[in-house]
Amino acid sequence: MMRHFGISERQARTAVRHRLAVPGAATPGEVAESVLVLHATDPATVFLAVQARSGLSPAAVEDALYEERSLLRMLAMRRTMFAVPAGFAPVVEAGATRAIAAKERASLLKLLAEAEVAPDPEAWLAEVEDSVVAALTARGEATAAELGRDEPRLRQEVEYAPGKSYGRPQAITTRVLTVLAAAGRIARGRPLGGWTSTQYRWYPTGLAGEAEAWTTADAQAELARRWLEVFGPAPVADLKWWTGWTAAEVKKALARISPAEVDLGGVTGIALPGDLEPEPAPEPWAALLPALDPTVMGWQDRSWFLGEHAPALFDRSGNAGPTVWWDGRVVGGWAQRADGEIVYRLLEDVGDDAAKAIEARAADLAAWLGPMRVTPRFRTPLERELVA
């Protein structure tokens, strides 16, 4: 018979495997491994996602990102920015980012050809790329402006969106650095400001060489396997959405790992064949998770933990805002006001014990943030109401 997974069991698996019911990871890297990768489009998400699962300080996260470099910022699934455990980065590079690099480079070459920058745009771009990497290697790390001074061709302007009212000439600096990062030759380093800043220095990385050991097919199979370890059981559609792969790519990856079909309450899902044992339910738990938290963004179908709360907690593009959790499901949202106060609203009755546990988590978060102020990059209806 097909193995049945009810909602409560899926919630229990998520709570334990994502370190929500039993937080206390020793390192930011362990936190990232428990959720596969950390969303990093909003820089604060990385820090707050670690805090919710470990209580580790912002300094510990900064060390992992910028000193130890055990977490690597990179464009990956769905062309989204993630902080990826260094040991897993070659798989992500080969299984997801390699295709992004090819598209980004082809797009840039088209712009260079249209601008008639050189008789051979491909050779010209390759020369500029090598020059930038050499300059960055000599410096150790550098800002985009510093690299532009070292390699003046980075300041070459091309027309973006020609013929459009918003089209205008722009330097290719950001496009070249994006291509180099997607190719695994450079990576984003320490920001120019605090840990919520979105402007970064860059540093050279050997990821490109490490990823060469993986074929795209092997890497996609491993990425699918690891996703099922962390987010399974789940419908195939959730894997397709999370990876951003085509249906054909998903089919090929799954054929290599032969998942078991399972019943998710009338919907067919998949799980790893050796991962079908029941997950003991943890003690009831509370958590305040940040905007774009990897648990909230792990599946396309979130009805089994989100209920009817999506309109209040997501923006129109599908970006999650800060969420309040109780015992495996989303029950509200939270925000930080200008004076530092953590405020939240429960969207359903959770009982006195749950309310007290949630209040305690809010107090913990306020103390952890201290003087830091966090505003999500993507504002959601409830978050805006709470800070109004």
| Model confidence pLDDT, tens digit, residues 271-313 | 999 999 998 899 999 999 999 999 999 999 999 999 999 999 9
Question: Taking 80 as the threshold, does the pLDDT of residue 216 lie above it?
Answer: yes
Beta strands in 18-90 (DSSP E): 38-39, 71-75, 81-85
Q: What is the residue type of 9?
A: E
- Please, which residues have CB within 8 angstroms of residue 233's CB and are 6 or more apart in sequence? 5, 10, 262, 264, 269, 270, 271
User: What mean pLDDT do residues 110-134 have?
Assistant: 95
The half-sphere exposure of 250 on its side-chain side, counting CA atoms within 13 A, is: 17
CA end-to-end distance (rounded Å), the chain: 53
Supply the pLDDT for residue 166. 67
- φ/ψ of 334, rounded to 5, equals -140, 170
What span, in angstroms and rounded, lies between the C-alpha atoms of 343 and 366?
A: 10
Q: Burial level of 59, CB count in 10 A (0-12/13-18/19+)?
A: exposed
Beta strands in 256-312 (DSSP E): 260-263, 268-271, 286-289
Mean of per-residue pLDDT scores for the chain: 95
User: What mean pLDDT do residues 351-360 have?
Assistant: 97
